């Protein structure tokens, strides 16, 4: 027996709404990539300095300059990653502060 106003054939599909997963934002992925790249550059710099660079000559040998350059690049990359992480965290704090209702504690 059919209900009044209902469909003639019951729907047999999946009616649940899709769960939207909160993935990592582009900025967060960029921060992780910059920090990882910086760490890799610093490790490579230390390895070049200890294993390859000939310290009996001046500091301007190609291997020493490569180690110094990789170390500097790694340090800059880690610092940029930290700046991106800080920006993402501040943006999340700002969004949550704006969403607080007027009567919530901590809202002026």
**Terminal CA-CA length for the chain:** 59
Residue-level length of the chain: 108
Query: 9: which DSSP letter?
Result: S
- Per-residue pLDDT tens digits for 33-62: 999 999 999 999 999 988 887 666 666 788
* pTM over the 0.75 mark: no
Q: Does the CA dihedral 77-78-79-83 come out positive or negative?
A: positive
Has residue 6 got a pLDDT over 80?
A: no
Domain borders along the chain are 26-99
Average pLDDT, the chain: 82
């Amino acid at each position: 027996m059919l209900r009044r106003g209902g469909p003639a054939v019951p729907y047999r599909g999946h009616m649940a709404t899709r769960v939207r997963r909160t993935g990592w934002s582009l900025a967060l992925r960029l921060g992780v990539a910059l920090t990882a790249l910086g760490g890799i550059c610093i490790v490579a710099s230390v390895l070049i300095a200890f294993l390859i660079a000939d310290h009996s000559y001046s500091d301007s040998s190609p291997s020493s300059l490569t180690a110094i350059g990789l170390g500097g690049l790694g340090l800059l990359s880690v610092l940029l990653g930290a700046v991106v992480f800080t920006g993402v965290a501040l943006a999340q704090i700002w969004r949550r502060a704006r969403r607080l209702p007027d009567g919530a504690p901590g809202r002026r």
